[in-house]
Amino acid sequence: MRITRLLLLTLLILAIPAAAFAQLVVSVAIAPPALPVYVQPMAPDAGYLWTPGYWGYAGEGYFWVPGTWIQPPTVGLLWTPGYWGWGGSAFAWNGGYWGQQVGFYGGVNYGYGYGGVGYQGGRWQNGQFYYNRAANNVNVTNVHNVYNTTLINNTAVNHVSYNGGAGGVTARPTAAEETASREQHTPATSLQTQHERTASTNHALLASVNHGKPAIAATAKPGEFSGQGVVAAKQAGATYKAPANNAAETKAAAAKATENKTAENNKAAETKATENKAAENNKAAETKATENKAAENNAAASRATENKAAENKAAENHAAATKATENKAAENKAAAARTNESKPAAPKPARAPAESAKEPTAHAQPAARPATAAHAQPAPRPAPATHAQPAPRPATAAKAQPASRPAPAAHAQPAPRPAPAAHAEPAPHPAAAVHAQPEKAAHTSGG
């Protein structure tokens, strides 16, 4: 059973892509060995930055990953080393990264500028990296960007390789380190991950084999584990103690930790998917609300336009009705005026009594008119002789006399008014014949 678990753990590690190898979070129940003591190899050229060595973990236990010089992925970036930290039930590996500032690396004293807090091995200036000769082994003949600043913790002899737990470093992140941890990071380069993979396959680098004193403690370039640039460890950082547990049990614990980490990652992925789904739903709801609001605004605008058009139409109709009423009134007024103009002046005879004195008396008196009626009858022919008598004409002479002016007073009396009734009859037309009779009378008298 233990061999089966070991094989499963080995296959799991080998199945992990090289690019993610350095960032793998592994939990182990046993603390890693102390950091070995070694001399830093000389920098191969300007532009290389030092990355300190550390203890990695694989199927056969802890193995040493040699420190090495490497070119950063981008000018201006600094390396923050990874570290082992106690999580309450096991030690977990926190992978390193590149960033503008050096973050928290557990307070572990890796040496050569990484004394536990920040980095004192060099700095970027005007696009070039300047090396602190107090922390780095550089050839000043080839590398001219150098300065010399004494390291603050150069005398430290603590080689503990982990944070927390029994015997671990008790450091906690500073404010600056917490800020750096939240900045944008770049993972380890492909050369770094390949360097770690190569170390994991080198049997001599296992802690169980070298007892904390590896033969390859550091290299001048990544992946070069032999040659002039290879440096061996001078001594182990502390007396090596073999794990009290059986190695297989440790591997099983590592496998269990890996399973737990996988479950956590799956849970995180599910949570992320749920958050994304919720974000999509919220986005869709906001979009729908925006569309509905736009539709409502369009509908309101349409209603406002329709209402305005209706108001304008009503105003036009009202103006037209008013205009029609005014035109009708004008037409009625004009019609009334024309009616008044065309209507005969019937009431004027009513003034006759007042002006009768001025008009001929014989002409105004209707008394002689019955004679016309008698004249119209053919049977009583003898009557014309009587009608021919000019005796009644003296009334005209009486009109000429001014003395008869008092007559109107008698004319104003209502009694003589019956004569107009006879005047309203069709008989008034023969009145002209009465005027013409003097000539006829004269003709009669002449016979």
Domain ranges of the chain: 2-245
CB atoms within 10 A of CB 250: 19
- Cβ contacts of 75 within 8 Å, gap of 6 or more: 124, 127
Phi and psi at residue 380, to the nearest 5°: -85, 60
pLDDT at 373: 39
pLDDT at 253: 53
Which residue would you say has higher pLDDT here, 368 or 334? 334
Report which of 149, 29, 165 is spatially closest to residue 108, judged by C-alpha positions: 165
Task: Please give the C-alpha separations between residue 386 and each of 372, 396, 414, in angstroms, as whole numbers.
Answer: 12, 19, 30
Phi and psi at residue 56, to the nearest 5°: -100, 175
pLDDT at 221: 95
**Spatial contact of 67 and 43, defined as CB atoms under 8 Å apart:** no
pLDDT at 268: 62
Q: Indicate the pLDDT class of residue 400, thresholds 50, 70 and 90.
A: very low
pLDDT at 157: 61
pLDDT at 288: 74
- Cβ contacts of 56 within 8 Å, gap of 6 or more: 62, 63, 64, 65, 93, 196, 199, 200
pLDDT at 277 over 70: yes
Average pLDDT of span 380-398: 44
**Of 232-241, 277-286, 352-361, 426-435, highest mean pLDDT:** 232-241
Would the pTM count as exceeding 0.85? no
Q: Indicate the pLDDT class of residue 315, thresholds 50, 70 and 90.
A: confident
Q: Tens of pLDDT along 331-367?
A: 788 777 776 666 555 454 445 444 444 444 444 444 4
pLDDT at 51: 98
Tokens 């060995």 belong to which residue? 33
pLDDT at 10: 44
Question: Given phi > 0 = left and psi -120 to 50 = alpha, else beta, which region is 297?
Answer: alpha
How far separated are the first and last CA of the chain, in Å rounded?
184
Q: Tens of pLDDT along 157-212?
A: 689 999 999 999 999 999 999 999 999 999 999 999 999 999 999 999 999 999 99
pLDDT at 397 over 70: no
Give one DSSP letter per residue of 348-369, joined into a string: GGGGHHHHTTTS-HHHH--TTT
pLDDT at 337: 75
- The three-class DSSP label of residue 72 is coil
Average pLDDT of span 243-269: 60
Which residue would you say has higher pLDDT here, 253 or 372? 253
Average pLDDT of span 10-21: 40
pLDDT at 243: 79
Report which of 39, 1, 3, 14 is spatially closest to residue 258, judged by C-alpha positions: 14
Average pLDDT of span 243-267: 59
Q: Indicate the pLDDT class of residue 2, thresholds 50, 70 and 90.
A: very low
| Dihedral of alpha carbons 161, 164, 166, 170, sign | positive
pLDDT at 47: 93
Query: Looking at the DSSP assignment, which residues form a beta bridge with residue 169?
Result: 163
pLDDT at 409: 40
pLDDT at 285: 67
Q: Indicate the pLDDT class of residue 286, thresholds 50, 70 and 90.
A: confident
**Spatial contact of 146 and 152, defined as CB atoms under 8 Å apart:** no
Report which of 200, 251, 265, 246 is spatially closest to residue 8, judged by C-alpha positions: 251
pLDDT at 367: 42
pLDDT at 133: 95
Measure the CA–CA gap between 45 and 221, rounded to whole angstroms: 10
**Spatial contact of 237 and 34, defined as CB atoms under 8 Å apart:** yes
pLDDT at 392 over 50: no
pLDDT at 19: 36
Average pLDDT of span 365-379: 44
**Spatial contact of 121 and 109, defined as CB atoms under 8 Å apart:** no
Q: Tens of pLDDT along 55-76?
A: 999 989 999 999 999 999 999 9
Lowest mean pLDDT among 137-146, 317-326, 424-433: 424-433
Q: Tens of pLDDT along 106-153?
A: 999 999 999 999 999 999 999 999 999 999 999 999 899 999 999 876
Tokens 């008009």 belong to which residue? 359
By DSSP bridging, strand 67-70 and strand 218-219 are parallel
